[in-house]
Chains A and B, each alone.
Chain A
Amino acid sequence: MATRREILKWSFGLGLGFAADLPLGLAQTAARDSIAVVVAKTSPIVQLSLFELKKLYLGANINDPSGQRIIPFNQAPNAPDRVSFEDNVLDMTPDQVARYWIDRKIRGEGTAPRAVGSAELLQRVVSRMEHSVAYVRASSLRPEVRAIAIDGAIPGDSAYRLFA
């Protein structure tokens, strides 16, 4: 499903609203920290599209360039960065995400990405599993992981769209 931001952009693009398309991203860059999607330094994953990232966190099987299945990890339920990530990427509230995974389990389609305690521990886990991805606040990036590009942009780029 399209994110609310995309709908806003789409509406503005059609001239249905205020001329606020570009400032949406720029204002957020200035006011808020980015959410970086991180992988191990040795990971073959360099980039993902926002759609791939969304599908990955909704349970789809997606392989990395080496042909291995990508394993997504979550932050703890209701962690502020997880709430932001799910809002940015999945366009869902924590309640909607919980409903989604309950429904998916009943359909027999698998379980939610595992949650790992703190953002720090999460990065250390990702650094040891080169086919995994997670997300953390860009300002708290540890040296053993690196941020990947989402839709061609990395945290700090004006086109980057994932914010805390």
Chain B
Amino acid sequence: MVASLAQGDGHDAEAAVADLEEFKLNIYGFTDFTYTARLNDFAYASPYPTFMVGNVNLYVGAELGGGWRALTEFRLLYLPHGTVPASEALNSQPARVDTTVTDPADYGRPLRWGGVEIERAWLEYNVHPLLTVQVGQWLTPYGIWNVDHGSPVIIGVRRPYVVGEALIPERQTGIQIYGSYLTGRTEIGYNLGLSNGRGPIDAYQDLDKNKAVTGHLFVTNDSPIGTFTLGGTFYRGRYTDRYSRFAFSTTGEFATEYITTERYEELGMSADLRWIWQDLTVQGELIVNDHAIDDEFRAAAIPVPGAPPGFAPDYRSTGWYAMAAYRLPWLNIMPFFGGEKYASGRQFTNDAAAVWGGLNIRPIPRVVLKAQFTHSWFTDNTQLVGDEGLQALDLQAAWSF
């Protein structure tokens, strides 16, 4: 009996080990639902309060065994239905994209189809804690907000304007390596990426021979007064847009001709700091992007009455935000507040600033309820755009599954 029990024990353990080592597909995701209302008159935002299902993101991930791991994230969209193409923007009666089709499964009744955005799709191999190699499309590992990524994770409803501007590309397609080293109570880590960089179709084709380089370094220290993480990122790349056509060459041969229509060099840099102590989180990011247009493709400057004609200048965009949040012991309520500033540096655009605050409530780990008030305003040329700015209320429910 003892022997059979021991054998039974062994079988249980073998079965458990086999189960642990078995290939398992991990499917999960998150969704958010938002109510947005403008609280004052503001010429540059819709006056109509609206409900919106903003993100329906689905992840398919797997530990493939032997240190291999894969992840694909899809965002399901209602778009392109209802969007106004850029070519229609200045039309007096702009036409929306209409994806209405007849549904063959329902007597041909109207059905509006939506699209899918591939947020990331990668395969990685963990060689050593100091070296993991990842190939595919990945989120650029810069700052805090871009890595936090999903609405259940980010504290506020709206991302800071400078983060939304993607001064460093939100995602890239190529190869990155990363790793970290523990010493004492400090972790030092890095990411190094080589990609197509930013481009009109960068997810699947580079339109020049220049590969973009991304570097990221971070240091995390655990001490009695909390965890400090300091990070820095640089991105160097070339944006090129071109089309191809068939043409006869000067020697009379039929060949493909590549015509460049736009080209600029960019250097993005960011620094971030996060301090977490017990239930307090303080974080901030500073992001800078230098945009240098290739003279061959430099457009004429927008004419200014009384000024001589010229060309569009290079420019530097700069922005930062800082925020603090504290998770209270009651109902996991987290009040938060923050501020931001953004200077695009482009001709005829305004610098802007904002302050915001609200509540992030997480009644259960998988559900986050948020309320945020935002007051934003232009900080220059207010004689043209007014100085009242925008006051908006956002309410959001975000959940993961």
A contact residues vs B (CB 8 Å cutoff): 1-2, 6-7, 9-10, 51-52, 54-55, 60-63, 67, 69, 95, 98-99, 102-103, 105-108, 110-111, 114, 116-117, 121, 124-125, 127-129
Cβ–Cβ contact A106 & B153, under 8 A: yes
B contact residues vs A (CB 8 Å cutoff): 9-10, 12-14, 16-17, 20, 26, 28, 30, 59, 61, 63, 67, 69, 71, 73, 120, 126, 128-129, 132, 139, 147-150, 152-153, 179-180, 182, 184-185, 187, 222-227, 276-278, 332, 362, 365-366, 400
Cβ–Cβ contact A121 & B13, under 8 A: yes
Cβ–Cβ contact A107 & B149, under 8 A: yes
Chain A residues with Cβ under 8 A from B227's Cβ?
A: 1-2
CB < 8 Å neighbour of B277 from A1, A55, A60: A1
CB < 8 Å neighbour of B71 from A54, A62, A108: A108
A116 to B107, CA, bound (A): 51
Cβ–Cβ contact B153 & A107, under 8 A: yes
Chain A residues with Cβ under 8 A from B149's Cβ?
A: 106-108
Cβ–Cβ contact A107 & B147, under 8 A: yes
Known: A2-B226, A62-B129. 8 other contacts (CB 8 A): A1-B277, A63-B128, A95-B365, A103-B152, A106-B149, A107-B147, A124-B13, A129-B17
A163 to B28, CA, bound (A): 35
Cβ–Cβ contact B17 & A128, under 8 A: yes
18 A-B pairs with C-beta separation under 8 A = A1-B226, A1-B278, A55-B182, A61-B180, A62-B129, A69-B67, A69-B126, A95-B332, A102-B152, A102-B365, A102-B366, A102-B400, A103-B152, A103-B153, A117-B16, A121-B16, A124-B9, A127-B13
Chain B residues with Cβ under 8 A from A51's Cβ?
A: 182, 184-185, 222
Cβ–Cβ contact A105 & B69, under 8 A: no
Cβ–Cβ contact B150 & A106, under 8 A: yes
Chain B residues with Cβ under 8 A from A62's Cβ?
A: 129, 182
Chain A residues with Cβ under 8 A from B400's Cβ?
A: 102, 105-106
Closest approach, in angstroms, between the C-beta of A66 and any C-beta of chain B? 12
Closest approach, in angstroms, between the C-beta of A37 and any C-beta of chain B? 17
A67 to B131, CA, bound (A): 13
A69 to B13, CA, bound (A): 21
Cβ–Cβ contact B12 & A124, under 8 A: yes
4 smallest CB-CB distances across A and B, nearest first, come from: A124-B13, A10-B224, A106-B150, A98-B365
Chain B residues with Cβ under 8 A from A103's Cβ?
A: 148, 152-153
